[in-house]
Structure 1
Amino acid sequence: MRLERRQSPSPAAILIAPLSALSFTFLVASVLVWWAGAPVGQTYNLLFKGAFGSVFALSETLTRAIPLTLTGLAAAIAFRARLFNIGAEGQLYAGAMAAVAVGGMQGGDDLLMSPWALFVAMMIAAALTGALLLLIPALLKSRLGVDEVVTTLLLNFIVLLLVSALLDGPMKDPLAMGWPQSAPIHPELELDKVIAQTRAHSGLWWALGLSLMLWGLLKWTVWGFSIRAAGANPNASRFAGVSVTRTVVMVAMISGAVAGLAGAIEVAGRTGYVTLDMSPGYGYTGIVIAMLAGLHPLAVPLAALWVAGILVGADSMSRAIGVPTYLADVMVAISLLTVLAASWLTQYRVRRH
């Protein structure tokens, strides 16, 4: 038996692979639900009803999917160039703090400039902060060969410690009654709601717009070709005249900027200020979403919606029927493994000698 790479995967195989992977995910999860002593059909009904069964449920799923889409895009664009950015969590928090520094530390109720100009400045500050944070590991990788997985991961802890110090120090809200949270951004800088009287906000359009922009960048531009070439084969790219170092630095700036925007959009759209528990691991979950999407920017929002639906629905399901919410984590993990395996099988076939 030997593995043989397919010349070009058939469209049917590309379509069937993820569907088969998701079916297998539900099969394994069904065994766990049955083992827990709960009715399988009712469990799944409550899961999907809790995620999509009402306007409120849908709004909560969309609210959760927005930061997951942005961190998924940050991971996807970096991984396409073999820059393994594990630091989106820290970049998200850094972007959120930059947003508050620009949009919340005004020293009074009067804005220093028009709300539109200040909003743009707030988003630019968040993007630049996230980009510069990832630029450090990118340069260390390009110049000194330092493993970016280690540096980006460790930077997460450094950023969180710095955020904790700022929330208890110069950026602490004096009206928070001792609770460690930042000063809020000005109300005029908050994002509009896309569904009235819910938490779903117009950061959704930012996430979808960035998905389209990054897809266009990868598919239609010279920069996109450089990114794809550097990710496919760095040595061949250098031989063809592509500057891999410059490409890695460019990708780092884009990836970090998107992750920083995720933090700013969370502040402007949902929380209004920064706390240490603002993100329940969006930066790490974004890696899972990027892999589920096959590193394709247009597939990232769908993967984020899938993961957000499972997480939100699991909370409702657990309250109604008593199945542990850990089922959601198991389903996400199994779906990732099976999608990766199915994608691999679309690229290779097993041949007998």
Structure 2
Amino acid sequence: MRLEKREHTAPLALLLAPLGALGFTLLVGALLVVWAGAPVARTFLLLLQGGLGSVFAISETLTRAIPLMLTGLAATVAFKARLFNIGAEGQLYMGALAAVAVGGLHGGTGWGLPLAVLFVLMMLAAALAGALLLLGPALLKVRLGVDEVVTTLLLNFIVLLLVSLMLDGPMKDPTAMGWPQSVALLSELELSKLIAQTRVHSGLLWALALAIGLWTLLKYTVLGFDIRALGANPRAAAFAGVPVTRTVVLVALLSGGLAGLAGAIEVAGRTSYLTLDMSPGYGYSGIVIAMLAALHPLAVVGASVFVASVIVGADSMSRAVGVPTFIADCMVAAALISVLVATLLTQYRVRWR
């Protein structure tokens, strides 16, 4: 068996590929539900209702989707340039740590700065913290050939240890009754709610604006062309005059900055303080979302909402029919694999001999 590049892909194949991937995902989910001893139709209905069946469900799905969009965008721009950033989780926590340091560690005085200036400084500090955390592995990659997958992955654990140290030390909230959490942001620095009596905040608008901005950058700018050329063929891009080192550095700053902003927006929009369990793996989920979106910034929005609705709906599904919530994780993984295989088959045909 071998794969042969298709000279032309029929429009019908491009239409059927995502439908086939969706069908495979539903089949995997149905088999798992049957294995758990629950009715398939009712379980899927509860999953849908739990994620999108009411104003509260939609608000929770959108709230969960906001950090997923930002980490998905971070993975998208990095993977476009073949910079395999596996460290968005650590970059998210570094951004949250920097946001709390600027927005909370001043005893409520704000260092005498206007609130608008302090808010901008808080977001810039978060983006810079995430960007600098990825800059090191990026430079090691282009200068010494060090595998960025290893360095960015290991940095996640180092950052979590640093966050634990800070939460039990200089940034610990003295009013938290011994619970390891940071001091809270100034209430004036928190993001406003988009829907009353829900947790949906204006960070959603930030995420949508950044998705549009990243799409514009990749499609219409010289830097975007350099990123796409570097991702398509690094040696050919270098031969054609693309500044490889500069492009990788800019991609690292952009990708890490987006992940850092995810941490700041999560703190300012949802929690108002930092804890070690603030992220249930948003950084790693961003990789899945980027691949589901085929590395398209605008498709990241839809992929984030899909993954968030499955995760949120799984909670109510689990309570109602008694099936494990891990079925949702399996369905997301099956969706990723099926989308990748379907995309592969639209570009290549299988030859048997």
Partner of 2:202: 202
Partner of 2:73: 73
Deviation at 1:186, TM superposition (A): 0.4
Find the aligned partners of 2:154 and 2:132 in 1 and give their Cα distance: 15
Q: Give the partner amino acid of 1:178.
A: G
Write out aligned runs for 1:1-16 (5 A). Answer: 2-16=2-16
Deviation at 1:11, TM superposition (A): 3.5
Query: Any idea what the Cα deviations from partners look like across 1:305-345, whole Å, max 9, x if unmatched?
Result: 11101100000000111011010011011111000000101
Find the aligned partners of 1:10 and 1:127 in 2 and give their Cα distance: 42
Structure 1 unaligned blocks of 5 or more = none
TM superposition score normalised by structure 2: 0.98
Q: Give the partner amino acid of 2:184.
A: P
Partner of 2:190: 190
SS of residue paired to 2:3: strand
Identical positions, percent: 71
Deviation at 1:2, TM superposition (A): 4.4
Give the 3 Å change call, closer, same or farther, for CA 223–37 of structure 1 in structure 2: same
Find the aligned partners of 1:120 and 1:275 in 2 and give their Cα distance: 22
Deviation at 1:27, TM superposition (A): 1.0
Q: Give the partner amino acid of 2:51.
A: A
Kept after mapping to 1: 8 A contact 2:73/2:290: yes
Deviation at 1:351, TM superposition (A): 4.6
Partner of 2:120: 120
Deviation at 1:85, TM superposition (A): 0.2
RMSD: 1.2
SS of residue paired to 2:161: helix
Kept after mapping to 1: 8 A contact 2:76/2:295: yes
Find the aligned partners of 2:193 and 2:11 in 1 and give their Cα distance: 38
SS of residue paired to 1:299: helix
Deviation at 1:110, TM superposition (A): 5.5
The answer as to 2:165 corresponding to 1:165 is yes
Query: Any idea what the Cα deviations from partners look like across 1:25-71, whole Å, max 9, x if unmatched?
Result: 10121111112211111000100000001111101000100000100
Aligned length: 353
Kept after mapping to 1: 8 A contact 2:73/2:258: yes
SS of residue paired to 1:349: strand
Q: Give the partner amino acid of 2:328.
A: A
Deviation at 1:9, TM superposition (A): 3.0
Partner of 2:349: 349
SS of residue paired to 1:3: strand
Q: Give the partner amino acid of 1:100.
A: V
Kept after mapping to 2: 8 A contact 1:191/1:268: yes
Runs of 4+ deviating beyond 4 Å: none
SS of residue paired to 1:134: helix
Deviation at 1:352, TM superposition (A): 6.5
TM superposition score normalised by structure 1: 0.98
SS of residue paired to 1:137: helix
Q: Give the partner amino acid of 2:12.
A: A
Find the aligned partners of 1:48 and 1:285 in 2 and give their Cα distance: 20
The answer as to 2:61 corresponding to 1:61 is yes
Partner of 1:24: 24
Kept after mapping to 1: 8 A contact 2:108/2:186: no
Q: Give the partner amino acid of 1:87.
A: G
Find the aligned partners of 1:93 and 1:110 in 2 and give their Cα distance: 22
Partner of 2:278: 278
Partner of 2:320: 320
Query: Any idea what the Cα deviations from partners look like across 1:288-319, whole Å, max 9, x if unmatched?
Result: 11111111111001111111011000000001
Write out aligned runs for 1:101-120 (5 A). Answer: 101-109=101-109, 112-120=112-120
Find the aligned partners of 1:110 and 1:244 in 2 and give their Cα distance: 41
The answer as to 2:337 corresponding to 1:301 is no
Deviation at 1:107, TM superposition (A): 1.9
Q: Give the partner amino acid of 1:348.
A: Y
Give the 3 Å change call, closer, same or farther, for CA 349–64 of structure 1 in structure 2: same
Partner of 1:156: 156
Deviation at 1:114, TM superposition (A): 1.7
Q: Give the partner amino acid of 2:215.
A: W
Partner of 1:239: 239
Find the aligned partners of 1:226 and 1:287 in 2 and give their Cα distance: 22
SS of residue paired to 1:57: helix
Deviation at 1:245, TM superposition (A): 1.2
Give the 3 Å change call, closer, same or farther, for CA 300–106 of structure 1 in structure 2: same
SS of residue paired to 1:155: helix
Q: Give the partner amino acid of 2:36.
A: A
SS of residue paired to 1:314: helix
Deviation at 1:8, TM superposition (A): 4.3
SS of residue paired to 2:350: strand
Kept after mapping to 2: 8 A contact 1:106/1:112: no
Write out aligned runs for 1:46-57 (5 A). Answer: 46-57=46-57
Give the 3 Å change call, closer, same or farther, for CA 42–119 of structure 1 in structure 2: same
